[in-house]
Amino acid sequence: MLIRNTAHIDKMRNKQGGSIVKLKKALVVSVSLIILAAAAIMPSGCSGGSNMYVSFKTYTDKNPTKYHEFENTEINVVSNYNDKNDFVMVLKKMGNNDIFNVYSPYVVENIGDKPNNDLENKTLFMNVNLGVSDWFGPYIVSADENADGDRKMNEFTGGNHDYLNGSGGSATGRTDSIRLVVDGKEIEGDYEGYADEIDIYWTNYIQANNTKKEDGSGREVLKEMYHINYTGNNEWNVDQQIEFLEDVTIQTYYGMQAINTAWNDEVKFGDGEWLEGDTTVQSESESENKITLRKADNYLELNLDTTYGLGTREHMSSRSKTAFVSSYGPNNSKTYYFLVQGSQKFSAGTIDGWKGTYKFYYGEPAATTSEQ
């Protein structure tokens, strides 16, 4: 009787033990499925990136000078800057053409190694609104044939330059698409989260100065394709390509520009001497590839790849002025590279462009050598 009871007990124990093992396996499988499901629905970038905080949103905006409403897309990116502040780069549609561009840097309180996500309390960098002009340049471009525009003058189009060359009227450029990729995954809809790397892509279409029309229906002759890669180190890598939709002649194109007001104490070309920053001055190099601006301990460095595309200056009839600062009055100056100059012909179906880096930093580096 005792032996039969012992055997029965062992049998029951074995049965219970098998049930427990099966239950554990089922729990492991269930938890794994939950994790996979959560990963599938979780917005890209929320799962561990920490180099930057990113906000991407689309909303109805109003042009501050023309008062019409339009659909805007705004990207805010927060990165560590110094012990006091994190740096907030803002890109959005702006200006007379409602065209996508760098808007203005802001700052938010530094709360530690992980960038602050409190965008509600961001304030203008150096208390200056830099969203008043274009950081990616316009063109003096004309169509070689069928010049059917209403205002055939040697004026800029694209960037911040509308029908009246920045003084009003219809748009001469438009943004067709904007895409954000966070840690290798394209974002659909609005997004907020931390990330290690982002890629921003956008496409613009630009009219010529002899195809623009007063009612805004001017013919587009250029397609701009921008790509910015950023990894949270305050170095913004720009790759810009221009597709020529028809035969055109470009008189002037600067490409890489900056609004100086927050860094206008001094400017340096290449590894030369520091010069007065809020005045008109130019580089003496025929292939300038580096411009550095500073105010107090705040620096902005523009590096141009002079081995690539328009950066080689092959489309300049004169290389006497390849980089310069132009002053438009006190605390109102801009920095420019010169990439195309002097009646340069470009054929339909061809593509050209430039590459460069905008670097924002605090405190003078140990060495300041040209990067190209």
What is this structure's pTM?
0.86
- Residue 2: pLDDT above 70? no
Mean pLDDT across the stretch 113-135?
96
- Residue 5: pLDDT above 80? no
Residues 6+ apart with CB under 8 A from 358: 102, 135, 235, 236, 238, 258, 300, 301, 302
In this prediction, residue 285 carries a pLDDT of 97
- Give the amino acid at 111: I
55-64, 177-186, 357-366: range with lowest mean pLDDT: 357-366
Residues 6+ apart with CB under 8 A from 147: 208, 210, 211
Instruction: Decide which of 2.70.98, 3.30.1360, 3.40.50, 3.30.450 is the CATH code for 132-362.
Output: 2.70.98
- Stronger pLDDT, 34 or 276, i.e. the higher one: 276
Residue 114, Cβ neighbours under 10 Å: how many? 14
- Contact (Cβ atoms closer than 8 angstroms) between residue 205 and residue 174: yes
Q: What is the pLDDT of residues 160-203, one digit of tens each?
A: 999 999 999 999 999 999 999 999 999 999 999 999 999 999 99
| CA–CA gap between residue 156 and residue 340 (Å, rounded) | 13
| CA–CA gap between residue 130 and residue 260 (Å, rounded) | 8
- Residue 278: pLDDT above 80? yes
- Distance of CA 323 to CAs 131, 219, 243, 304, 342, Å? 22, 31, 24, 10, 15
Of the candidates 76, 102, 85, 89, the residue with the CA atom closest to the CA atom of residue 192: 76
In this prediction, residue 17 carries a pLDDT of 53
- Residue 255: pLDDT above 80? yes
Percent of the chain with pLDDT over 90: 84
- Stronger pLDDT, 32 or 76, i.e. the higher one: 76
Give the start-to-end residue ranges of the domains of the chain.
1-41, 132-362
Mean pLDDT across the stretch 280-308?
97
- Stronger pLDDT, 24 or 53, i.e. the higher one: 53
Residue 67, classed as helix, strand or coil, is coil
- Residue 24: pLDDT above 80? no
In this prediction, residue 42 carries a pLDDT of 43
